[in-house]
């Protein structure tokens, strides 16, 4: 199901539980044009899917578009809701098509956000094994992984989805 401006209600589909949500975000920017100031409003859309894949028993989250701390909060609520319903503690997040808009302070606060969101769903964040896939090892992503590991959260960065799935499933032979 699709929803604009909010997370859509999810329904049972095909192989697993999940759905698609579209979130709209408005970003304003000021532009100087020949000495006069004009306000340009640009609308960007973020789409994500969060679903349980019963064949490998992993919750899979795919994110497309601009990713901010506010949107991470909403995605986390949905992922931990599915985790609670499916009794699943493995999460794969694909950031290959995401544009990450997080400050270092936002990144530093993520472990607490994830812990509190999991707790509100009746879950313990330390029971989870999470993998995130991104095309490059950016400084922000290295900091993100380090901050989560320093808070005893089991997380790892991968360049390929298949390697992340293998690690989550216990087959670590493919490496990073």
- What tokens appear for 161 in the block? 């989805």
Cα–Cα distance list, 141 to 38, 46, 133 (Å):
35, 19, 10
Helices marked H in the chain: 69-86, 104-120, 139-150, 161-168
- Cα separation, 110 vs 135, in Å, equals 21
Beta bridge partners of 132: 93, 157
Domains of the chain with bracketed CATH = 11-168 (3.30.750.24)
Per-residue model confidence as pLDDT tens digits over 69-114: 988 999 999 999 999 999 999 999 999 999 888 888 998 898 999 9
Per-residue model confidence as pLDDT tens digits over 22-68: 444 434 333 334 444 444 444 457 788 999 999 999 999 999 998 88
Beta bridge partners of 50: 19, 61
Q: Which is nearest to 87 in space by CA: 56, 35, 123, 51?
A: 123
- Cα separation, 168 vs 165, in Å, equals 5
- Cα separation, 7 vs 79, in Å, equals 12
- Per-residue pLDDT band for 166 (boundaries 50, 70, 90) equals very high
Per-residue model confidence as pLDDT tens digits over 107-161: 889 899 999 999 999 999 999 999 999 887 666 777 788 888 888 888 888 999 9
């Amino acid at each position: 199901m699709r929803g604009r401006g909010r997370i859509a209600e999810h329904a049972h589909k095909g192989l697993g539980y999940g759905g698609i949500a579209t979130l709209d975000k408005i970003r304003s920017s000021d532009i100087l044009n020949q000495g006069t100031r004009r306000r340009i409003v640009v609308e960007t859309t973020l789409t994500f899917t969060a679903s349980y894949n019963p064949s490998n028993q992993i919750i899979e989250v795919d994110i497309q578009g601009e990713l901010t701390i506010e949107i991470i909060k909403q995605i986390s609520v949905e992922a931990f809701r599915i985790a609670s319903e499916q009794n699943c503690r493995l999460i794969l997040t694909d950031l290959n098509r995401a544009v990450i808009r997080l400050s270092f302070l936002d990144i530093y606060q993520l472990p607490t956000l994830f812990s509190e969101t999991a707790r509100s769903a009746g879950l313990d964040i330390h029971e989870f094994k999470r993998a995130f896939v991104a095309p490059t090892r950016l400084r922000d992503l290295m900091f993100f992984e380090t901050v989560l590991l320093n808070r005893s959260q089991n997380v790892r960065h991968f360049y390929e989805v298949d390697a992340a799935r293998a690690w989550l499933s216990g087959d670590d032979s493919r490496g990073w």
